[in-house]
Amino acid sequence: MTQLKKLMKGNWLPKNKAHISAWILNLKTRIHFTSHSIAPPIQELKELVDGDPELKGLSLDMFTEAKSHKALTPLETPEVADFGEFLVLFNHIMTQAPECTEFLDPKTGVLEPCGLIGFPINALLDLPMATDSGYAFFSNSLVNLQIKRILSYWSQYLSSPASRSVLIDNFPNRTPKVFGWLSENARKEMITVACQAEPINSPNHKKSFEDFFHCDPKDKYYGFQSWDDFFTRTFVDGVRPVAQGLDIIANACESAPLQVVKNVKKSSKFWLKGQEYSLENMMNFDPLAEQFTGGTVYQAFLSALSYHRWNSPVSGIVKKVAMVNGSYYLGNRYQGFMNPDGADESAPNQSQAFLTAVATRAVIFIESDNPKIGLMCFIAIGMAEVSSCAPTVQEGQRINKGDELGMFHFGGSTHCLIFRPEVKLEFDFHNTSPGLDATNIPVCSRIATVLNK
């Protein structure tokens, strides 16, 4: 797998690394035109690091180590210089929402339209995260608690009317160029992603944005009240019909299949290169994990340009809902510079199985109406800044297949469906193959059929 392909998954960062470098370079120029005041939680992170000799050393070493592996970007400019510059750029991101960008590579002449720096903080940290020092820094519990406070602070801006400026603002003279998310080309790209599972001659490819998503085209902002409101947009009724049948399991998220693993162990060494699933870690040592030993895990990842809500794969009763605090920028160290094929420099694509055990996540147990399924588990896993897992159901609630379970604020991430060993399944991948090159399967469509009699 080439490094270029690693940068493509889920559209969370542009395909071309030079595109990301150009965005960072432009971000550096724009910080001079904004207030020099620092957001309180970022100041707290600085004080935390400065006051702890070990963290201070790691914060310095991860940038130094990154430069030893890769001193210059594809544009032959320096990456983020050090932790101090990172904090300055990090602070600027607190008052901006992700933009729709277009980049013309000066070396290749290739145009990359509708690019999204969906992980702007991750874009600043992609190389430091891949170092041994970065692994140690981002596994620190105090660092993760402070990052959680920072992301909560940022979410206030992303939920405010000011954040929706990126829906309509155009900056064609920037490099990369910036266009509103409600521009014609961006809307077409989102329709293309929504139709990935359909034949190229399907009439749905020619439909409009408002045919797919609830919105008000007569309004300048299409009725969206904030960036978060736009990104958690909902499908028009009937666009995603719910797969019928007691033995049919519906797709919980609009997502691309990563893998199916059977005979999963209760406890495994998930941090090693092989990235096995560890049920007790995934489920935060819940006693219910015992019931799933030897069972099946289905994992899939969401696209940045897609639908970001979770829908129930079965009808039944919600038995338990748990939020698990975890890491935000921690990847499997064997997918960093220890990987002989090169570091996973984008969103943590190669670490998705690892993230099920360490990242911030929501765990929802559902007792299915179908006794052949019985108790099953849905886990929503946050990746980097896309870690605002927000369940909308509660214990004891009755839900029908296709009902909303919750959502990822600001985008999507990865998720798992977990079944007990007694449940034998035949999966339907809708003409795609599980892996990092898979395409989206529509939410609520059939993802599996129960086979046991």
The Cα 397–Cα 297 span in angstroms is 24
Q: Residue 144, exposed/middle/buried by CB under 10 A (0-12, 13-18, 19+)?
A: buried
Q: What is the pLDDT of residue 395?
A: 97
- Phi and psi for 228 in degrees, rounded to 5? -65, -40
Residue 220 burial (CB count, 10 A) = 11
Per-residue pLDDT of the chain (453 residues; tens, 9 = 90+): 223 233 334 455 666 778 888 888 888 888 765 556 889 999 999 999 999 999 999 999 999 988 887 765 554 556 788 999 999 999 998 998 988 888 888 888 888 777 666 578 878 887 888 888 998 999 999 999 999 999 999 999 999 999 999 999 999 898 889 999 999 989 998 999 999 999 889 999 999 999 999 999 999 999 999 999 999 999 999 999 999 999 999 999 999 999 999 999 998 765 555 578 889 999 999 999 999 999 999 999 988 888 999 999 999 999 999 999 888 887 766 566 666 665 555 445 667 778 888 888 999 999 999 999 999 999 999 877 666 889 999 999 999 999 999 999 875 588 999 999 999 999 999 999 998 889 999 999 999 999 976
3 state DSSP class of 103: strand
Q: What is the pLDDT of residue 257?
A: 95
> CB–CB of 349/355 below 8 Å?
no
CA angle centred on 10, ends 4 and 13, rounded to 5°: 60
Sheet bearing 177-179, strands edge to edge = 111-116, 100-104, 177-179
Reduced 3-state DSSP string for 251-270: CCCCEEEEEEECCCCCCCCC
The Cα 190–Cα 305 span in angstroms is 6
Residues 6+ apart with CB under 8 A from 200: none
Residue type, 324: V
Residue 8 burial (CB count, 10 A) = 17
3 state DSSP class of 347: coil
The Cα 100–Cα 227 span in angstroms is 12
The Cα 243–Cα 187 span in angstroms is 27
Sheet bearing 414-419, strands edge to edge = 255-261, 296-302, 414-419, 375-381, 361-368, 316-324, 398-399
Residues 6+ apart with CB under 8 A from 139: 327, 330, 358
Which domains, from first to last, does the chain contain?
A: 3-158 (no CATH), 179-231 (no CATH), 248-325+360-450 (2.70.70.10)
> How long a stretch of residues is the chain?
453
* Long-range CB contact pairs, 189-193, < 8 A, 24+: 189/113, 189/114, 189/305, 190/305, 190/306, 193/11, 193/303, 193/305, 193/306, 193/440
The CA-to-CA distance between both ends of the chain, in Å, stands at: 41
Q: pTM to 2 decimals?
A: 0.89
pLDDT tens profile 205-245? 999 999 999 999 999 999 999 999 999 999 999 999 999 99
**How many angstroms separate the most distant Cα atoms in the chain?**
67
Residue 282: both structure tokens together: 């995934």
Q: Which of 304, 97, 89 is nearest to 180 (CA)?
A: 97
Cross-strand bridge partners of residue 415? 300, 380
Q: Which residues of 26-50 are buried (b: 16+ CB within 10 A; e: fewer)?
A: ebbeeeeeeeeebbebbeebbebbe
- 375 CA to centre of own chain: 26
Residue showing tokens 């992609």: 126
Q: What is the pLDDT of residue 319?
A: 98
Residue 14 burial (CB count, 10 A) = 26
Residue 169: both structure tokens together: 């603002």
Which segments within 134-290 are labelled E, that is strand? Answer: 177-179, 248-250, 255-261
